[in-house]
């Protein structure tokens, strides 16, 4: 059995580096193959050796990957870590990316909660209306909830007659007219609807 020479001070093996950050050796080998993170040195016996600086870079890679960046994107986004300013810039960019992802996740959660509330109110399975509600939530149309009040023919007519801008304008006018009718009803003022 071959004896490995002692690992130089300040270096760690691929197994030790993987264990410290909580990834597999195979992951580190893959990142090396893809040119994301190569070991800082190699022992006389051919073992890959990593430093604490490599661990910081690895943390940067893992954080960006968890935010949904592809490995190619990550490769472009990796920041040199030679000075305190470099490290600060890397951490600032990472924090900004996380904040943006948090906002996206909050918006997604809000849309899911709104859709769930609409589904419960509709008490019917209608994927066409669900899709319309999702699209309107994505467009940040505050009147998305009105969709459940229209029958399928009316929704088809709206879809075929309006683009995004004119559709939003139509929904706004519809909402204002509905509010006026409700106010007239509350005040017991007669109003006329022409069929």
- What pTM was computed for the model? 0.50
Residue-level pLDDT at 172: 75
Q: How many residues does the chain have?
A: 195
Residue-level pLDDT at 88: 85
Residue-level pLDDT at 19: 92
Residue-level pLDDT at 30: 93
Mean pLDDT, consecutive 10-residue stretches, the chain (195 aa), reads 63 90 92 90 84 88 84 81 80 85 83 78 73 69 63 72 72 76 79 54
Distances 79 to 15, 61, 68, 84 between C-alpha atoms, Å: 25, 10, 18, 12
Residue-level pLDDT at 139: 65
Residue-level pLDDT at 1: 38
* Selection from 55, 70, 64 nearest residue 23 by Cα: 55
Residue-level pLDDT at 142: 62
Q: How many CB atoms lie within 10 A of CB 132?
A: 19
Sequence-distant (≥ 6) Cβ neighbours of residue 2 within 8 angstroms: 45
């Amino acid at each position: 059995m071959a004896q490995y020479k002692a690992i130089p001070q300040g270096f760690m093996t691929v197994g030790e580096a993987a264990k410290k950050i909580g990834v597999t050796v195979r992951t580190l080998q893959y990142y090396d193959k893809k040119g994301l993170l190569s070991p800082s040195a190699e022992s006389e016996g051919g073992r890959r050796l990593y430093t604490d600086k490599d661990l910081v870079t690895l943390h940067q890679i893992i954080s960006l990957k968890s935010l949904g960046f592809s490995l190619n994107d990550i490769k472009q986004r990796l920041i040199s870590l030679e000075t305190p300013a470099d490290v600060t810039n890397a951490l600032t960019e990472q924090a900004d990316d996380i904040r943006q992802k948090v906002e996206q996740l909050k918006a997604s959660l809000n849309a899911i909660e709104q859709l769930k509330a609409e589904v419960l109110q509709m008490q019917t399975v209608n994927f066409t209306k669900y899709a319309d509600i999702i699209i309107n939530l994505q467009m940040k149309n505050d009147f998305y909830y009105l969709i459940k009040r229209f029958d399928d023919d009316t929704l088809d007519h709206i879809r075929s007659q309006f683009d995004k801008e004119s559709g939003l304008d139509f929904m706004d006018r519809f909402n204002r007219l509905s509010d006026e009718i409700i106010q007239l009803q509350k005040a017991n003022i007669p109003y006329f609807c022409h069929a």
